[in-house]
Each structure stands twice: as C-alpha cells, then as structure tokens.
C-alpha cells in the first residue's frame, strides 16, 4: 500500500481542534455510538480473517475507526489510513484517537484519493450523503480502484429516502416552522439569495445501483431504526451543516442556536415516550456492505 507524499498529509503536531467542529458533540451521543456500534458488529460478520490494510473515509472524529476496532477483532492490528476533507476534523480525530496505534492521516476528498492501495476494507461512515450524485459515484469508483480483490466496502447514512419513520413527519415540519417564527420575531433577515437546494437523498436501492455501477457486488442492504433523544436532536441541530440546510438563507450561527431551541420544545410536544418517560423521535440509518469481485 502506498500513500502519496503530498502536503495533504496532516502532521500529528497540528494545532488542536476546538468544538467549532460542531459534529463532534453529536458523534459522542449514546444513540450515535450505539447505531454505529451495531452496524460495525454486523460488518464484522462479513469479514473472514485478519484485515491488514483499512481505509476510513470521512473519518471525522474517528468514531468508525474506534468502534470498528472495538467490535471487530480482525481490525485491531490493521494499518488504517484515515481520510477527511476537513483539516479541523482530522485534528479532532487525531486528538481523540491519540492512543490508537498504526493510524495515518490524510486530508483529501473521497472522490479524488491520493492513494494507491490495495485495501482489504473501506469504511465510509455517515458521510456519503454529503456528496452530489456525480461525486457519490466518483467516490465509489475511487474506492473500487484502491480496493484489493475481494475487498469490502461499508457505508451508512441517516440522510436518505426512508430515514423518516412513518408517523414522525409532523415533528420535522414543526421544528422548522417554530425556528423560522423565532427568527422573524428576532428580526433576523433571510438572504434573498438563500434558497433550498433540491434534496439529494437517494432510496436504498438507488444506493445499491450506484455501488454496482462502481463495480462492486452488494452483499448487504439494510436499515436500522434508532431512538434519538433530546440531547441528540439538540446537538444535531447545532451542527452547522444541518442548520444551514434546514434554515437556508439565515446566518448559520444564529440558525443553529434557534433550531436547537425549537427542536427541544417540539420534541416535548410531539415526541414518543419510552419506558423511562423520556421523549424521543425514531430515525432510520441505512447500511450497505459491498465486495469487489475476487478477479
């Protein structure tokens, strides 16, 4: 395996990241860890033998790498190349995984990997939905290129057609309407240039078609329902990219604060109640496992 020597490789003495990488708090919630732990445990059932070389795309704060080694014994001695487009994310991941051995960090885009391979496993946790349709296919083709014969690909997402559980649609509408009402009350203007981009969510089978178009064989396609509680919803609504998409046209920092307040009050009104009296809204995660043909 060869990692190209380029300025994109991030040194370990990089300046420590801060909580400004605002996906980090949500990535530490119990439900986020639980859904990824379960997904990776399922992935482990499709792995036979030790994995020597692993590629992790959209590494972020390192959740998939950390939980993968926890759940899958075959990964514990693997050399892992951790790739993310965000330098801030990489520095946060370096800090969080400082005690993990045999990790290499590269700042790059999934659709343009400065790598040669071959890798026996590629993971792409909670990130593929951020790419355009064209870039999704480019990224999958790049993974195919750097995968060895029989190499596995795993990815999951909570942003696809099917993620919204039947009966919870009113919750999603209400949190946006309440947030917009507060923004108007605060006198926060909406940019005239702000407009909603067409939602680029795919159906599970459409993801499967993309995977096949890249050359892989789909070996698992499933959905996992998870209860997301108050703190989880508050933190995801504070995530800048989520708030920018939900409240396009408004200043992102203000939108995130207002949306996080709105979602808490709406959850208290419309959320389901669990056996301990806690409010939640269920959401589905898509999971895909694919394999590069042996020859």
The pTM of the full predicted model, rounded to 2 decimals, is: 0.87
| pLDDT at residue 1, as a whole number | 42
What's the mean pLDDT in 129-145? 96
Overall domain count for the chain: 1
Q: Is residue 209 part of a domain?
A: yes
Least confident of 99-108, 235-244, 284-293: 235-244
Does pLDDT of 10 surpass 90?
Answer: no
Does pLDDT of 155 surpass 60?
Answer: yes
What's the mean pLDDT in 95-115? 96
Q: Which of 39, 87, 78 is nearest to 60 (CA)?
A: 87
CATH of the domain at 46: 3.40.50.150
Q: Is residue 172 part of a domain?
A: no
- Name the average pLDDT for the chain: 90
**Strand locations in 14-161 (E):** 53-57, 79-84, 103-107, 115-117, 119-125, 147-157
What are the pLDDT digits (tens) for 39-50? 999 999 999 988
Q: Is residue 94 part of a domain?
A: yes
| pLDDT at residue 7, as a whole number | 29
More confident of the two residues 17 and 203? 203
Q: Is residue 189 part of a domain?
A: no
**205 is in which domain, residue-wise?**
2-166+197-227+282-291
Q: Is residue 127 part of a domain?
A: yes
More confident of the two residues 209 and 246? 209
């Amino acid at each position: 395996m060869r990692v190209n020597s380029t300025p994109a490789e991030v040194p370990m003495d990089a300046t420590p990241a801060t909580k400004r990488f605002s996906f980090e708090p949500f990535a530490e919630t119990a439900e986020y860890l639980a859904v990824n732990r379960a997904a990776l445990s399922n992935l482990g059932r499709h792995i036979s033998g030790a994995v020597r070389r692993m590629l992790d795309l959209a590494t972020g704060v390192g959740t998939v790498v950390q939980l993968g080694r926890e759940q899958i014994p075959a990964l514990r001695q693997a050399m892992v190349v951790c790739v993310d487009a965000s330098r801030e994310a990489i520095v946060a991941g370096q800090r969080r995984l400082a005690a993990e051995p045999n990790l290499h960090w590269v700042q790059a885009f999934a659709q343009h990997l400065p790598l040669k391979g071959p890798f026996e496993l590629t993971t792409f946790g909670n990130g593929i939905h951020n790419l355009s349709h064209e870039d999704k296919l480019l990224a999958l083709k790049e993974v195919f290129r750097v995968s060895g014969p029989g190499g596995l690909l795993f990815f999951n997402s909570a942003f696809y057609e099917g993620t919204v559980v039947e009966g919870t649609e009113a919750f999603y509408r209400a949190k946006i309407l309440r947030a917009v009402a507060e923004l108007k009350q605060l006198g926060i203007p909406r940019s005239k240039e702000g407009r909603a981009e067409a939602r680029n969510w795919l159906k599970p089978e459409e993801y499967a078609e993309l995977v096949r178009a890249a050359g892989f064989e789909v070996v698992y396609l499933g959905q996992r329902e998870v209860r997301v509680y108050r703190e989880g919803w508050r933190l995801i609504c504070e995530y800048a990219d989520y708030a920018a998409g939900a409240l396009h046209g408004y200043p992102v920092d203000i939108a995130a604060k207002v949306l996080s307040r709105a979602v808490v009050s709406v959850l208290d009104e419309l959320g389901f109640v669990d056996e301990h009296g806690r409010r939640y809204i269920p959401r589905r995660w898509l999971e895909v496992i694919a394999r590069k043909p042996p020859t």
